[in-house]
Chain A
Amino acid sequence: MPVDGMVAIGAGLAVGLAGIGAGLGEQGIGAAAVGAMAEDPDFFGRGLLMTVIPETIVIFGLVISFLLMFI
């Protein structure tokens, strides 16, 4: 499948920018979750759950990049 240069750049931006966004989202939650875990180690499961919620954004970026590159 031929991929134009601009499409490749677009796909890269989709993943990269989404990654930055997810990172920014996770930093605050992660810090709070670690704080909560320090108070109560039982919080680990829920802390992990909360922390990874913004991660889905990267997957969105990834799916978009796939749509760009392959379809």
Chain B
Amino acid sequence: MFKPVEMVKVSIVGSKDNFEKTAETLHRLNLLHIEDYGEESEYFQIGQPLEKASKASRFLVTLRSMLSYIKVDPAYEPKKVYSVGEIDSMLEEKVSDLESKITSKLEEIRAAEEELRRLEDEKKVLDPLKAIGLPVDLLGGYRNLQVFVGYFSANPMEKIMDVTKEFEIVISPYDKEFVGAIFVKSEFAQEVFKVIQEFGYREIAVPEFEGTYDARLQEIEKRQEDLKSKIESLRQEVEKLEKDNLDLMLAMEEYLTIELEKSELPLRAAVSKYAFVLAGYVPKEKFDEMKREIEQATDGKVVVEQLTDKMKPPTALKNPRFAKPFELLTFTYTTPKYHEVDPTTLMAIVFPLMFGFMLGDIGYGVVILILGLWLKTKLKTPGWQDLLTILVYSAISTIAFGFIYGEFLGFELFGEHSVLAEITHNEFFEHVPHINRLELAPAILVLTIAIGVLHMGIGYVFGIMNVKKEHGWKHAVYEKLNWLLALISIGLIITGFILNQMSGKFAFAPNFAYITATPLVIAWAILTIKGEGAMFLIEYLTLLSNTISYARLLAVGLASVGFAIAFNYMVLEMLFPMGIVGIIAGIIIFLLGHFINLLLGILDPGLQSLRLHYVEHFVKYFEGGGVRYSPFGKIRKFTKEE
């Protein structure tokens, strides 16, 4: 919580003949975040991939090109998990077997598709050729004549007359242009060609066939049908073949990927003539396990040591289970630096609260909850799962706030106009304690500002911790503490303003809140001028606008209630009294209206709550730009080790 997993820097040193074993072990452990070796020196160079790399990558290309043909659901669970030994023994045979079966079919498909394209092109020219009115065998195949067949923007006959009289032209209008054939003696061909170019001549490639155009058209269409069904059946065959072998193919793909990763490990290490050095980071609590495993695998010939210099450790967030899905939102903003406070857990608490505070309706909450739970069974990718978990939390919070506000799809459940009391004739519901948002809006407005001051205040406290850790107390005071003071003073000034309004005094008449704020403002000003410069005094206004920005917590909620009430009024008061037609129209409008409001109710509170975190809260302390911990290794899904 709040702090990422503690890392230690390690070096792994050994003789080169133990490299392969080390790579095996490291990959299996899936712990070491490798720092790539960059600079080459007299003794140490970047290593060369192991020999098996080229073979593995060749097979991998073949497999992946076959796999790219079918879409595999990322959440696909294999029916059979192959062991590494099994894959290793039959890899070569199976790949070439599948390749020969599938590749030949794929090639047939490609050839058929090629022919389809050619026929489509031919089909396109048949219609204009038909418009010329000459049989196709007259349009070519002469010894002493050149034929120009194509489109013309105008009739070029007279201009050609200037060149030669010995020609024949057949031309007719076609689709705003002309289409025609010009027969001319070969010796004038070049000059005529120049002339017709001025008339926007575009050549038509005359296809070779016998018979009439209509007959050819029919023939092409029939052939196209044949080809399409052939491609379809071939595709089905390929798909069936691949589906039958899917588990095996995915297992081989995984196996090869892992083999390739292992054999390319030298590219990330420093290698001398006889030795290798790997450097990287490991979670502190896993260091002993890694050291033991590697030294065991290599009979102590490879040495694992902890290094003291900490350059830039990668960040692996560590949060309680309920907060894990919110890491998605943190990473969307940026990856926290290793030394920074991790905002995820706080966000996991505040985000759903803000969502519920805005939407706050039992009816909408229940619908979103059901929707979220249903989608969770459908969309299995990790990103969606995280997002939907966040939605489910938000829905629960929405229901809770719905009880506080006493709202159900915009109807008042409790209080003077209680719908429940009206239906059940039970006065009890009129006395259930609740907060009517519309009546108490001014008070809630003040509450939102207070939430804002608190939320940003926590941000500044985190900020002080971050800056202190990186640059020391002095910077923390000059950069963050001064703004915390400013924030408190803003809170006090707003309080003073409200107190004066409530007691009917002049807005800026001195009261205890203003008086308490004064020394804070002075302290802030001095610290800011000393630390950041006088220019930054203007930022006080930014902070003020940040504070007021939390009023959206109320605004979004009121908009959603307003919508719901408006739809309910339209349906119950205006349409239902109109009789049967009114009731039908009313039901449609009721469903449609609340559906739209629900969509807005998911989007808007979600985005606004996110915005309050990203824009108002995070900027107070969260710089980010860290490196995400990505250990060397892979979690096996389609294969298993013996």
A residues whose Cβ falls under 8 Å from a Cβ of B: 44-46, 48-49, 52-53, 55-56, 58-60, 62-63, 66, 70-71
Q: Is the CB of B441 within 8 A of A45?
A: no
Q: Which residues of B contact A60 (CB under 8 A)?
A: 545, 548
Q: A52-B611, A52-B615 are in contact. Are A45 and B442 (CB under 8 A)?
A: no
Alpha-carbon separation in the docked complex, A70 to B614 (Å): 31
Q: Which residues of B contact A56 (CB under 8 A)?
A: 545-546, 548-549
Alpha-carbon separation in the docked complex, A63 to B442 (Å): 10
* Whole-angstrom distance between the Cβ of B574 and the nearest chain A Cβ: 22
> 16 other contacts beyond A49-B615, A53-B615, with CB at 8 A cut-off?
A44-B332, A45-B332, A45-B614, A48-B610, A48-B614, A49-B611, A52-B615, A56-B545, A58-B555, A59-B549, A60-B545, A62-B551, A62-B552, A63-B551, A66-B445, A71-B442
Q: In chain B, what residue has the closest Cβ to A44?
A: B332
Alpha-carbon separation in the docked complex, A45 to B548 (Å): 22
Alpha-carbon separation in the docked complex, A66 to B610 (Å): 24
Quick one: which of B348-399 are within 8 Å of A by CB? none
Q: Which residues of A contact B501 (CB under 8 A)?
A: 71
Q: Does B333 contact A (CB under 8 A)?
A: yes
Q: Which residues of B contact A52 (CB under 8 A)?
A: 611, 615
Q: Is the CB of B611 within 8 A of A70?
A: no
Alpha-carbon separation in the docked complex, A63 to B545 (Å): 11
Q: Which residues of A contact B549 (CB under 8 A)?
A: 56, 59
**What are 23 A-B residue pairs whose CB atoms fall within 8 Å in the complex?**
A44-B332, A45-B333, A45-B334, A45-B614, A48-B611, A48-B614, A49-B333, A49-B615, A52-B611, A53-B615, A56-B545, A56-B546, A56-B548, A56-B549, A59-B552, A62-B551, A62-B552, A62-B555, A63-B548, A63-B551, A66-B441, A71-B442, A71-B501
Q: Which residues of A contact B548 (CB under 8 A)?
A: 56, 59-60, 63
Q: In chain B, what residue has the closest Cβ to A55?
A: B611
* Whole-angstrom distance between the Cβ of B336 and the nearest chain A Cβ: 12
B residues whose Cβ falls under 8 Å from a Cβ of A: 332-334, 441-442, 445, 501, 545-546, 548-549, 551-552, 555, 610-611, 614-615, 619
Q: In chain B, what residue has the closest Cβ to A50?
A: B615
Q: In chain B, what residue has the closest Cβ to A51?
A: B611
Alpha-carbon separation in the docked complex, A53 to B546 (Å): 10
Alpha-carbon separation in the docked complex, A60 to B334 (Å): 29
Alpha-carbon separation in the docked complex, A29 to B576 (Å): 46
* Whole-angstrom distance between the Cβ of B616 and the nearest chain A Cβ: 9
Contact of B551 among A46, A48, A59 (CB under 8 A): A59
- Tell me what chain B mostly uses at the interface: helix, strand, loop, or mixed: helix
Alpha-carbon separation in the docked complex, A55 to B334 (Å): 22
Alpha-carbon separation in the docked complex, A62 to B551 (Å): 8
* Whole-angstrom distance between the Cβ of A37 and the nearest chain B Cβ: 11
Q: Which residues of B contact A55 (CB under 8 A)?
A: 611
Top 8 A-B residue pairs of the complex, sorted by shortest distance between their CB atoms: A45-B333, A70-B442, A45-B332, A56-B549, A52-B611, A49-B614, A59-B551, A62-B555
Alpha-carbon separation in the docked complex, A53 to B552 (Å): 13
Alpha-carbon separation in the docked complex, A49 to B442 (Å): 28
Q: Is the CB of A59 within 8 A of B555?
A: yes
Q: Which residues of B contact A63 (CB under 8 A)?
A: 445, 548, 551
* Whole-angstrom distance between the Cβ of B454 and the nearest chain A Cβ: 18
Q: Is the CB of A70 within 8 A of B441?
A: yes
Q: Which residues of A contact B552 (CB under 8 A)?
A: 59, 62
* Whole-angstrom distance between the Cβ of B277 and the nearest chain A Cβ: 32
Alpha-carbon separation in the docked complex, A71 to B611 (Å): 29
Alpha-carbon separation in the docked complex, A39 to B549 (Å): 30
* Whole-angstrom distance between the Cβ of B362 and the nearest chain A Cβ: 26
Alpha-carbon separation in the docked complex, A55 to B332 (Å): 21
Alpha-carbon separation in the docked complex, A59 to B501 (Å): 20
Alpha-carbon separation in the docked complex, A26 to B431 (Å): 46
* Whole-angstrom distance between the Cβ of B439 and the nearest chain A Cβ: 10
Q: Which residues of A contact B545 (CB under 8 A)?
A: 56, 60
Q: Which residues of B contact A58 (CB under 8 A)?
A: 555
Q: Which residues of A contact B445 (CB under 8 A)?
A: 63, 66
Q: Which residues of B contact A59 (CB under 8 A)?
A: 548-549, 551-552, 555
Alpha-carbon separation in the docked complex, A52 to B334 (Å): 17
* Whole-angstrom distance between the Cβ of B359 and the nearest chain A Cβ: 18
* Whole-angstrom distance between the Cβ of B632 and the nearest chain A Cβ: 23
* Whole-angstrom distance between the Cβ of A12 and the nearest chain B Cβ: 13
Q: Which residues of A contact B619 (CB under 8 A)?
A: 49
Q: In chain A, what residue has the closest Cβ to B542?
A: A56
* Whole-angstrom distance between the Cβ of A40 and the nearest chain B Cβ: 13
* Whole-angstrom distance between the Cβ of B353 and the nearest chain A Cβ: 19
Q: Which residues of A contact B442 (CB under 8 A)?
A: 66, 70-71
Alpha-carbon separation in the docked complex, A71 to B619 (Å): 33
Q: Which residues of A contact B551 (CB under 8 A)?
A: 59, 62-63
Alpha-carbon separation in the docked complex, A57 to B439 (Å): 25
* Whole-angstrom distance between the Cβ of B220 and the nearest chain A Cβ: 41
Alpha-carbon separation in the docked complex, A70 to B545 (Å): 21
Q: Which residues of B contact A48 (CB under 8 A)?
A: 610-611, 614
* Whole-angstrom distance between the Cβ of A41 and the nearest chain B Cβ: 10
Q: Which residues of A contact B333 (CB under 8 A)?
A: 45-46, 49
Q: Which residues of A contact B555 (CB under 8 A)?
A: 58-59, 62
Q: Which residues of B contact A66 (CB under 8 A)?
A: 441-442, 445
Q: In chain A, what residue has the closest Cβ to B334?
A: A45
Alpha-carbon separation in the docked complex, A45 to B445 (Å): 28
Q: Which residues of B contact A45 (CB under 8 A)?
A: 332-334, 614
Q: Which residues of B contact A71 (CB under 8 A)?
A: 442, 501
Q: Which residues of B contact A53 (CB under 8 A)?
A: 615
* Whole-angstrom distance between the Cβ of B372 and the nearest chain A Cβ: 22
Alpha-carbon separation in the docked complex, A62 to B549 (Å): 10
* Whole-angstrom distance between the Cβ of A60 and the nearest chain B Cβ: 7
Alpha-carbon separation in the docked complex, A70 to B558 (Å): 15
* Whole-angstrom distance between the Cβ of A8 and the nearest chain B Cβ: 15
* Whole-angstrom distance between the Cβ of B569 and the nearest chain A Cβ: 19
* Whole-angstrom distance between the Cβ of A57 and the nearest chain B Cβ: 9
Q: Which residues of A contact B615 (CB under 8 A)?
A: 49, 52-53
Alpha-carbon separation in the docked complex, A70 to B366 (Å): 33
Q: Which residues of A contact B332 (CB under 8 A)?
A: 44-45
Alpha-carbon separation in the docked complex, A66 to B615 (Å): 24
Q: In chain B, what residue has the closest Cβ to A70?
A: B442
Q: In chain A, what residue has the closest Cβ to B624?
A: A45
Alpha-carbon separation in the docked complex, A70 to B443 (Å): 10
Alpha-carbon separation in the docked complex, A22 to B100 (Å): 62
